[in-house]
Amino acid sequence: MSSILSIKDIDLAKKKVFIRCDFNVPQDEFLNITDDRRIRSAIPTIRYCLDNGCAVILASHLGRPKEIASKYSLEPIAKRLARLMAKDVIMAKDVIMAKDVIGEDAKKKASELKPSEILILENLRFEKGETKNDENLAKELASMADVYINDAFGVCHRAHASVEAITKYFDNANKGAGFLLQKEIEFASNLIKHPARPFVAVVGGSKVSGKLQALTNLLPKVDKLIIGGGMAFTFLKAQGYDIGNSLLEEDLIEEANKILLKGKNLGVKIYLPVDVTAAQTCSQEAVMKYTPVQEIPAGWMGLDIGPASVRLFKEALSDAQTIWWNGPMGVFEIDKFSKGSIKMSHYISESHATTVIGGGDTADVVARAGDADEMTFISTGGGASLELIEGKELPGVKPLTIKDNE
List active site positions: 38, 207, 360, 383
Nearest to 77 by CA among 141, 152, 25: 25
Nearest to 322 by CA among 223, 206, 255: 223
Nearest to 391 by CA among 177, 219, 165, 179: 219
Which residues is 307 bridged to in the sheet? Answer: none
CA distances (Å), 226 to each of 217, 312, 317, in order?
15, 10, 9
3-class secondary structure, 168: helix
DSSP one-letter string for 342-389: HHHHHHHHHSSSEEEE-SHHHHHHHHHHT-GGGSSEE-S-HHHHHHHH
Under a CB-based contact definition with an 8 Å cutoff, are residues 390 and 213 in contact? yes
Under a CB-based contact definition with an 8 Å cutoff, are residues 291 and 243 in contact? no
CB atoms near residue 117 (< 10 Å) = 18
Q: Residues with Cβ < 8 Å from 98, sequence gap 6 or more?
A: 105, 106, 109, 110, 119, 120, 121, 122
Alpha helix ranges (H) inside 72-170:
75-86, 104-112, 135-142
Q: What b/e string do you get for 264-286 counting C-beta neighbours within 10 Å, with b at 16 or more?
A: eeeebebbbbbbbbbbeeeeeeb
3-class secondary structure, 75: helix
Which amino acid, residue 131? T
Strand locations in 263-371, DSSP E? 269-271, 275-279, 288-292, 301-305, 322-326, 354-357
Burial (0-12, 13-18, 19+ Cβ within 10 Å), 114:
exposed
In this structure, the chain runs to a length of 406
